[in-house]
C-alpha cells in the first residue's frame, strides 16, 4: 500500500466533553496510584538534536517501564487495580498483541486473581513466555489481533470472567477508558520540572509555556489508537492547541487513518507487517472519536522505515524495537508538503514515545 498522509480537516479544539474522558486530572489520579507501587518511577527522556530536521527530539523511553518492557505496563494494570477494588476474585481475561497482556497479567498477579490471555498465532513466543512467568494462562487463538479479541470476549461471556480490553467499541468503553487514563501517566511525567531539558543551540524558542520549553509536535504510533488518544488528551489539556499531534501507523494496518477519512470507525484489510504490536485492523471507538478532532495529521510508514528509525536511534544510544521507534519513523518520513503543513523546522521541539525496548534483546 502506498504511504499515506492525511491532514485532518475535522481538527477542532479540546473541549469539556473530551476533558471528562481524558486529560491531566485523570492522568494524575492514575499516577497517584502508581506512586505507591514499588517498581514505579518516571522513565527517562533522551534528547536527540536535529532528528528529522527538527531542532530537538525528546524520546520518552518506555523500555524500562516497571520492568515490563513497554508503556502498556501503565494501562491494563491500572484498569485491573480499579476493577479488583470492587470484586476481588473473578478472573481477568484479555486479548493482546503482547504488551497489554503483560500489563493485565502483572496487575492480576498483584491482586492475586487468575488471568487468561489470548494471543493470535502471530504474537512471538517471547511474549507467551513472559506472560506465563507472570502467572497468566496463555491461549492461542486465530491469526490476527481481532480474532484474539473475539476469543477473549467469548471466554468472558462463557465463564463470567472480566474482560480487560485495550480497545473499545459500542457498549464497551469503561475499562478501555481506564486503560487509556493509565497511559496518561507517562505524559504527566513530562510535566515534572526539568523533564524536558532545553536542548541545544538555536533550538531554544523565545518564551515557552509558563517558562518551560514548549513542545511543538508530538508523533505517536498507533495500533488501536489508545496511546495516541491518551497523548492527544493530555497534551491538549496541558499544553493547549499549539502542539501539532501526528498519528503514525504501519502501512499494513492503517485503521485510524482510514477511519478518519471515513468519518467513522472502519475495518481495514491491510497486509502483513513486521510491526506486530501496531498490527490492528480496527480502531478503538473512543480513540477514533478523540483523535478525529484532536489529531492534526495521520501518516503511515513502512516496516523498512521503522527499522531504519530503530537503527538511527540506536546510534544515539536509544535502544528500541521497530514498534517503539515507529513514531520517530513518522518524523523521518514526512514529505516536504506535510513538513510545511506542520510548520516543522529546526526550531521545532518534538516529543516521541519510545514505546517499547528491543523485544528479544541480544
Ligand atoms: C510497543 C507498542 N507501541 C505502541 C502500541 C500502540 O498502542 P495502541 O494499541 O493503544 O494504539 C502498542 C500496542 O500494543 C505497543 O505494544
Flag whether pLDDT at 251 surpasses 50. yes
How many percent of the chain have pLDDT more than 90?
91
3-class secondary-structure state, position 291: helix
* Cβ neighbours, 10 Å, residue 249: 31
Flag whether pLDDT at 362 surpasses 60. no
- Give the span between the Cα atoms of 105 and 39, in whole angstroms: 15
Residue 15 corresponds to which cell in the numbers above? 473541549
Q: Is 251 in the pocket of ligand 1 (CB under 6 A)?
A: no
Q: Is 223 in the pocket of ligand 1 (CB under 6 A)?
A: yes
Q: Which of 213-217, 218-222, 230-234 has the lowest mean pLDDT?
A: 213-217
pLDDT of the residue at 354:
98
Across 118-136, average pLDDT: 96
Q: Is 100 in the pocket of ligand 1 (CB under 6 A)?
A: yes
Across 307-330, average pLDDT: 98
In this prediction, residue 76 has a pLDDT band, given cuts at 50, 70 and 90, of very high
Question: Cα(248) to centroid of ligand 1, in Å?
Answer: 11
Q: Is 70 in the pocket of ligand 1 (CB under 6 A)?
A: yes
- Single out the residue of 239, 197, 245, 207 nearest to residue 56, CA to CA: 197
Rg (CA), the chain: 19
CA distances from 56 to 205, 220, 267 (A): 11, 16, 36
Q: Is 182 in the pocket of ligand 1 (CB under 6 A)?
A: no
Question: Cα(324) to centroid of ligand 1, in Å?
Answer: 9
Q: Is 323 in the pocket of ligand 1 (CB under 6 A)?
A: yes
Flag whether pLDDT at 2 surpasses 70. no
Q: Which domains does the chain have, with CATH numbers?
A: 5-70+175-354 (3.40.50.1100), 76-165 (3.40.50.1100)
Residue 123 has, within 13 A of its CA and on its CB side, a CA count of 31
Give per-residue pLDDT as tens, 33-73.
Answer: 999 999 999 999 999 999 999 999 999 999 999 999 999 99
CA distances from 1 to 63, 254, 301, 303, 310 (A): 30, 10, 10, 12, 22
Across 270-295, average pLDDT: 96
Our mutation pick for probing the ligand 1 site, out of 227, 231, 257, 279, counting the most ligand atoms within 8 A of Cβ, is 227
- Single out the residue of 327, 281, 263, 262 nearest to residue 300, CA to CA: 327
- Single out the residue of 208, 106, 104, 245 nearest to residue 162, CA to CA: 104
Question: Cα(211) to centroid of ligand 1, in Å?
Answer: 32
Return the C-alpha torsion angle 16, 19, 24, 27, nearest 10.
Answer: 160
Q: Is 356 in the pocket of ligand 1 (CB under 6 A)?
A: yes
Evaluate whether 11 touches 259 at the Cβ level (below 8 Å). no
Give per-residue pLDDT as tens, 137-183.
Answer: 999 999 999 999 999 999 999 999 999 999 999 999 999 999 999 99
> What's the order of all strands across the beta sheet hosting 115-119?
137-140, 115-119, 92-96, 162-163
Flag whether pLDDT at 103 surpasses 60. yes
Across 264-271, average pLDDT: 96
pLDDT of the residue at 158:
98
* Residue length of the chain: 362
Flag whether pLDDT at 219 surpasses 50. yes
In this prediction, residue 202 has a pLDDT band, given cuts at 50, 70 and 90, of very low
Question: Cα(98) to centroid of ligand 1, in Å?
Answer: 9
How many percent of the chain have pLDDT more than 70?
94
For 251, residues 6+ apart whose C-beta sits below 8 A from its C-beta are 1, 2, 3, 4, 271, 273, 300, 301, 302
- Single out the residue of 218, 246, 250 nearest to residue 326, CA to CA: 250
Residue 347 corresponds to which cell in the numbers above? 526550531
**Residue 173 buriedness (CB in 10 A; 0-12 / 13-18 / 19+):** middle
Task: Tell me what the pLDDT averaged over the chain comes to.
Answer: 94
330: left (phi over 0), alpha (psi -120 to 50) or beta: alpha
pLDDT of the residue at 200:
52
- DSSP string over 88-155: SSSPEEEEESSHHHHHHHHHHHHHT--EEEEE-TTS-HHHHHHHHHTTPEEEE-SSSHHHHHHHHHHH
> What's the order of all strands across the beta sheet hosting 349-354?
5-7, 297-301, 244-250, 217-221, 349-354, 56-61, 45-49
Flag whether pLDDT at 190 surpasses 50. yes
Evaluate whether 273 touches 247 at the Cβ level (below 8 Å). no
pLDDT of the residue at 199:
62
Evaluate whether 43 touches 64 at the Cβ level (below 8 Å). yes
Across 190-215, average pLDDT: 68
Flag whether pLDDT at 295 surpasses 80. yes
- Give the span between the Cα atoms of 198 and 205, in whole angstroms: 9
* pTM, rounded to two decimals: 0.96
CA-nearest residue for atom 10, ligand 1, is: 226
In this prediction, residue 3 has a pLDDT band, given cuts at 50, 70 and 90, of confident
pLDDT of the residue at 203:
43
Flag whether pLDDT at 109 surpasses 90. yes
For 181, residues 6+ apart whose C-beta sits below 8 A from its C-beta are 22, 26, 27, 29, 30, 78, 230
Across 124-136, average pLDDT: 96
Amino acid at each position: 500500500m502506498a504511504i499515506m498522509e492525511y491532514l485532518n480537516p475535522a481538527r477542532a479544539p479540546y473541549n469539556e466533553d473530551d476533558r471528562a474522558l481524558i486529560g491531566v486530572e485523570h492522568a494524575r489520579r492514575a499516577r497517584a496510584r502508581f506512586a505507591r507501587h514499588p517498581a514505579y518511577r518516571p522513565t527517562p527522556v533522551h534528547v536527540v538534536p536535529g532528528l528529522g530536521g527538527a531542532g530537538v527530539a525528546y524520546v520518552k523511553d518506555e523500555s524500562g517501564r516497571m520492568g515490563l518492557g513497554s508503556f502498556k505496563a501503565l494501562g491494563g494494570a491500572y484498569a485491573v487495580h480499579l476493577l479488583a477494588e470492587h470484586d476481588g476474585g473473578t478472573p481477568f481475561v484479555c486479548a493482546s498483541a503482547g504488551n497489554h497482556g503483560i500489563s493485565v497479567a502483572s496487575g492480576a498477579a498483584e491482586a492475586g486473581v487468575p488471568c487468561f490471555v489470548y494471543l493470535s498465532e502471530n504474537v512471538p513466543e517471547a511474549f507467551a513466555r513472559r506472560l506465563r512467568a507472570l502467572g497468566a494462562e496463555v491461549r492461542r487463538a486465530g491469526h490476527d489481533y481481532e480474532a484474539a479479541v473475539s476469543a477473549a470476549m467469548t471466554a468472558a461471556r462463557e465463564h463470567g470472567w472480566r474482560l480487560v480490553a485495550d480497545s473499545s467499541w459500542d457498549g464497551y468503553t469503561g475499562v478501555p477508558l481506564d486503560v487509556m487514563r493509565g497511559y496518561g501517566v507517562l505524559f504527566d511525567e513530562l510535566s515534572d520540572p526539568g523533564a524536558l531539558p532545553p536542548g541545544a543551540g538555536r533550538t531554544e524558542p523565545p518564551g515557552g509555556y509558563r517558562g518551560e520549553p514548549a513542545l511543538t509536535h508530538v508523533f505517536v504510533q498507533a495500533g488501536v489508537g489508545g496511546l495516541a488518544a491518551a497523548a492527544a488528551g493530555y497534551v491538549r489539556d496541558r499544553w493547549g492547541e499549539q502542539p501539532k499531534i501526528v498519528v503514525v501507523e504501519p502501512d499494513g494496518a492503517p485503521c485510524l487513518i482510514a477511519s478518519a477519512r471515513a468519518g467513522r470507525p472502519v475495518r481495514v484489510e491491510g497486509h502483513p507487517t513486521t510491526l506486530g504490536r501496531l498490527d490492528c485492523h480496527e480502531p478503538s471507538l473512543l480513540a477514533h472519536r478523540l483523535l478525529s478532532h484532536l489529531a492534526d495529521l495521520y501518516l503511515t510508514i513502512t516496516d523498512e522505515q521503522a527499522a531504519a528509525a530503530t537503527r538511527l536511534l540506536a546510534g544515539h544510544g536509544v535502544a528500541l524495537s521497530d514498534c517503539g521507534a515507529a513514531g520517530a519513523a513518522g518524523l523521518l518520513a514526512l514529505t516536504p508538503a506535510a513538513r510545511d503543513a506542520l510548520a516543522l523546522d529546526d526550531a521545532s521541539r518534538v516529543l516521541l514515545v519510545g514505546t517499547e525496548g528491543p523485544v528479544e534483546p541480544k
